[in-house]
Structure 1
């Protein structure tokens, strides 16, 4: 059994002119939502075996807040340049390349790839994963490279708690 949690980065800020997209920070609302959802998730699931984040500032900051809530060492947080891509292809490759010693993983990435991935591999249709939304999918597989359709076990969105 393999379990994957996918987190769309929290709400980012567009207020800074001349800043590259990859460097955009979180808004205060995003920071608050990340603390809220990571706290909710921490009460519902065991700490995932590995935390992996896109290299974008907004995804990394979200991952750091979740790491704090789960007491996961920041030194163990893996950063993936390939997750800073807006298609599900890189997300699929990242998941299928996970080390089989990890039975669970949490990945922090971006909108389009996440929505495509959860609808391709999960059992519940999700029209749009909102910022700081988390989808959990359980797979009947011993090896990450063999994952196919799984069962959606968690859908947590900030609006559920406001």
Structure 2
């Protein structure tokens, strides 16, 4: 009997470019990004996102995205792990993280990170092409398999795709 592996991807919310001297990794969220987190948090939870295993990029904008989503979900208490490898813009790095770094014994994982890694990853491993993966978008991909190492080309089913524009 095979199990199901479910990936929940949350692209970080809109970041601010106001402080031009800041390193990319240190850029905070813009006001629009902060609003998007508040709007998306209940929708992501309603869509069935399981927050028991959350991994985030160390970038300030990614950490702030999950902090604000958590802060908007008063009834759900969860923590997250900062994973250096998730500060990537490359789909192959993201795939390697999923295969090599996600604990084998977990069925669901939430990853907070960046484009173009997320967009390319979804279009590579998912069964549906996503035209655009905007900031603060949520994607759920499911895999009928026992192991994260089974993630491969077109193996995953896209079962949810939410963007902030849907809830304005």
Q: TM-score range by the shorter chain?
A: over 0.9
TM-score normalised by length of structure 2? 0.90
Higher helix share: 1
Q: 2:159 aligns with which of 129, 153, 156?
A: 153
**Whole-Å Cα distance in 2 between the matches of residues 5 and 66 of structure 1?**
14
Q: 1:14 aligns with which of 14, 17, 33?
A: 17
The aligned residue for residue 41 of structure 1 is 44
Q: Does 1:73 align with 2:78?
A: yes
Q: Does 1:124 align with 2:128?
A: yes
Asked if the contact 1:49–1:103 (Cα under 8 Å) also holds between the matched residues in 2, the reply is: no
Gaps of 5+ in 2: none
Residues 130-157 of structure 1, C-alpha deviations (whole Å, 9 max, x = no match)? 0001111000111111123111000000
Gaps of 5+ in 1: none
Note closer, same or farther for the CA distance 1:86–1:46 as it changes in structure 2 (3 Å cut).
Answer: closer
Residues 5-54 of structure 1, C-alpha deviations (whole Å, 9 max, x = no match)? 11110000001131111000001110110121111111220523300000
Paired positions, count? 160
The aligned residue for residue 142 of structure 2 is 138
What is the CA RMSD across the aligned residues, in angstroms?
A: 1.3
The aligned residue for residue 104 of structure 1 is 108
Q: Aligned to 1:6, what secondary structure does the other structure show?
A: strand
Residues 57-116 of structure 1, C-alpha deviations (whole Å, 9 max, x = no match)? 000111112333272333xx1111111111112211111121122111110010110011
Asked if the contact 1:49–1:102 (Cα under 8 Å) also holds between the matched residues in 2, the reply is: no
Asked if the contact 1:84–1:109 (Cα under 8 Å) also holds between the matched residues in 2, the reply is: yes
Alignment of 1:83-102 (within 5 A): 83-97=86-100, 98-102=102-106
User: Which contiguous aligned blocks of 4+ residues in structure 1 show a shift greater than 4 angstroms?
Assistant: none
**Whole-Å Cα distance in 2 between the matches of residues 3 and 91 of structure 1?**
15
Note closer, same or farther for the CA distance 1:36–1:145 as it changes in structure 2 (3 Å cut).
Answer: same
